[in-house]
Copies of this chain bind each other. A is one copy, B any other.
Amino acid sequence: MEHRLPDGVYAASLTPLTADLKVDHPRLAAHARWLLDSGCAGLAIMGTTGEAVSFSVSERTELLERLLDAGIPPSRIMLGVGCCALPDTVALARHALDHGVHGLLVLPPFYYKNVRDAGLIAAFDALIQQIGSASPEVYLYHFPQMTGVPFSLSVIDRLLAAYPGVVVGVKDSGGNVENMRAMAQAFPGFRVFAGSEKFLVDVLRAGGAGCISATVNLTARLAAEVYDAWQSPQADDLQRRMSAVRQAIESFPMIPALKLLTELRTGAEGWRHMRPPVTPLTPSEEDALQAAYAAALAEVQSPV
């Protein structure tokens, strides 16, 4: 089984917007370039942190084209394509494959709840059949807190049996490291990415492939250092410090927190636009976040 996408640390990239809430394509390309230059193995584009579901299919295909035009390599992109409507998911997946992006991060159809295993399997059957023979590399996007539709071990087992070499991995954003370990142990070769860099060392020790995380929009360099050092004696200490940074951020709503901190990092105004229903932090939340983040960073920089 050949893997096109590398192991390692992925940022679940933010999507910068203009004041009228359109995608700011040049700024997205610059952010993507910075993330790769900061040590990211790859980029998850159009995931939850990227406000994917808030954009129409045509906005999403344009976003990908503009990003590739700006020189971001397709072999470093894992693209979110999962929609409620199968024709939309198929359209996004085909468009990606036509543009050389093979890594597809696929949410389950996420409106209906109490979905039966057979329904989830049927959705992936239809998707993979309708994509055709363009060699997709499908990553299951497990995020039950948002979707209400988990990928159980039994569903994954059936998908792997049906689509070897096509269904190749998972982004587990459920926050339960035991589930990540269970998947890595149950399915050798299945590429388990933790949904947070908090679990990076844990998931690598369990045989996982890396992490795909929102906070890596800020912690990319640190996360790459932890990834490089995960088998070293310093691994646990580095992980602990990185987790403290994550912790400082994740007690606030994630997307507005990351957009604020990215505005501060870059000094470029206009990062704090987001589409409803995602909302900016209040001024007092912004102050509290900045204080918590600064304290966590100071701790990272102190001697080991």
Seen from chain A, the residues whose Cβ lies within 8 Å of a Cβ on chain B are 48, 53-57, 59, 84-88, 91, 108-116, 118-120, 122-123, 125-126, 145-149, 253, 275-279
Q: Is the CB of B56 within 8 A of A279?
A: no
Q: Give Cα distance in the complex from A149 to B277, angstroms.
A: 10
Check if A146 sits within 8 Å of B111, measured CB to CB: yes
- Contact check, A119 vs B276: say whether CB atoms are below 8 A apart: yes
Known contacts A110-B111, A146-B113; A126 and B276 CB within 8 A of each other: yes
Q: Quick one: closest B residue to A59, CB to CB?
A: B87
Chain A, interface SS category: loop
Cross-chain contact of A146 among B112, B118, B275 (Cβ < 8 A): B112
Q: Which residues of B contact A148 (CB under 8 A)?
A: 148
User: A111: shortest Cβ distance to chain B, in Å?
Assistant: 4
Are B53 and A279 in touch, CB under 8 angstroms? no
If A120-B277, A126-B276 touch, whether A54 touches B85 (CB-CB below 8 Å) is yes
A171 CA / B184 CA spacing, docked (Å): 44
A146 CB, nearest partner CB in chain B, Å: 6
5 additional A-B residue pairs with CB within 8 Å, beyond A122-B277, A148-B148: A53-B112, A54-B84, A56-B85, A114-B253, A116-B253
